Amino acid sequence: MALPKLNQNLKYEMVIPSSDKVVTYRPYLVKEEKLLLSAFESQDQKQAMRAMVDTVVACVNDDIKTSELATFDVEYMFTQIRSKSVGEASNLHFKCEDEGCDKRTDVSIDLSSLEVTKQEDVDNVVQITDDISIELRYPTYDGFVKNFREGVSEAEFGFMMIEDCMISIMTDDEHHLVSDVSKKELAEFIDSMTNIQFTNVGEFLKTVPVMKKDVEFTCECGFENKVTLEGLQDFF
C-alpha cells in the first residue's frame, strides 16, 4: 500500500507586484529547504539568488516566466512563500538609536503584512535628445543574477543593469528594439552618451519599487525608536 500524499491541498494567493497578476502558491517543502540551506551556507551570493528564484518557480502553481519578474517581484514572492513555510514572524534585533545607549530590542515582524512601495506616475520613457528617447523597464531578477559578480565595481554593475533595462531606442521616425540590436552596437550607443544623458537614464533606476516597512519600538531606556526596513536583506 502506498504512503499517503502530504500537503496536496495547501494553497495560498498573492499578487505579483509589477503586473498585479494573482497567482496561487504552496509553502516550500523539505526538498526545497535543503537546496536553500545549501545555497545560503555556501556563501556564494549568486548561488543563493538562484536558489531563491528556483524556489519561487517550484512553489507557484501558475505559469510564470522568470525573465519577466522584476527584482522586487522575486523578493516579495519569496518572502510570502517563506512566511507560509517556516512562520509569518521574522524576529529581528535592533540597537537603540539614542546616543549613549547600546541596548538591543527584539522586534517581531509580520512577513505576511509586507507590501511593495511604488512611486506614482513614473515615466519609463527617457528623452535624451530632442529626437531620441529610450524606453526602459525595471531590472529583472534574471538580469540582476546574470550581471552580478563578486568584486565587480558599483559603476560597472550599474552600467550593465542599465543596458539590461533598455527595451527600445526611439526616434521620430524609427523604433529599435534592443533585443534586435547587437551587444556591440548597443554598447557603442551607450558609450556615446554624455554624462548628463547617462545620468538621466540612470535616474529611472532610483524609482524601482521596494519592499518597505516602518518599525517603531521602545527601548528599555525609554527612547522611542523608528527604523525603516527596505529590501529582502533587512527582514531576515
Q: What is the pLDDT of residues 53-101, one digit of tens each?
A: 999 999 999 999 888 899 999 999 999 999 999 888 889 999 999 998 9
pLDDT for the residue numbered 6: 67
Joined grid coordinates for residue 134 = 529610450
- pLDDT digits 0-9 by tens, 168-185: 999 989 999 999 999 999
Q: Which domains does the chain have, with CATH numbers?
A: 12-116+210-235 (no CATH), 125-207 (3.30.2220)
The DSSP secondary-structure symbol of 191 reads H
**Position 69: which residue type?**
L
What does 87-126 look like in DSSP terms, one character per residue?
Answer: -SEEEEEEE--STT---EEEEEEEGGG-EEE--SS---EE
Joined grid coordinates for residue 26 = 504552496
Helix (H) or strand (E) holding 29: none
120 versus 152: the higher-pLDDT residue is: 120
Contacts of 30 (CB under 8 A, 6+ apart): none
**Position 131: which residue type?**
D
Say if CB 13 and CB 24 are below 8 A apart.
Answer: yes
What does the alpha-carbon distance between residue 60 and residue 229 come to, in Å, rounded to a whole number?
Answer: 26
pLDDT for the residue numbered 69: 94
Q: What is the pTM of this model?
A: 0.86
Q: Choose among 160, 187, 174, 164: nearest CA to 132.
A: 174
Q: What are the beta bridge partners of residue 23?
A: 14
What does the alpha-carbon distance between residue 217 and residue 8 come to, in Å, rounded to a whole number?
Answer: 40
What does the alpha-carbon distance between residue 34 and residue 55 come to, in Å, rounded to a whole number?
Answer: 11
What does the alpha-carbon distance between residue 86 and residue 149 come to, in Å, rounded to a whole number?
Answer: 30
The DSSP secondary-structure symbol of 43 reads T
Helix (H) or strand (E) holding 227: strand 224-230
- pLDDT digits 0-9 by tens, 112-145: 889 999 988 889 999 999 999 999 999 999 988 8
Give the side-chain half-sphere CA count within 13 A for 7: 11
- pLDDT digits 0-9 by tens, 1-42: 777 776 667 899 999 999 999 999 999 999 999 989 898 888
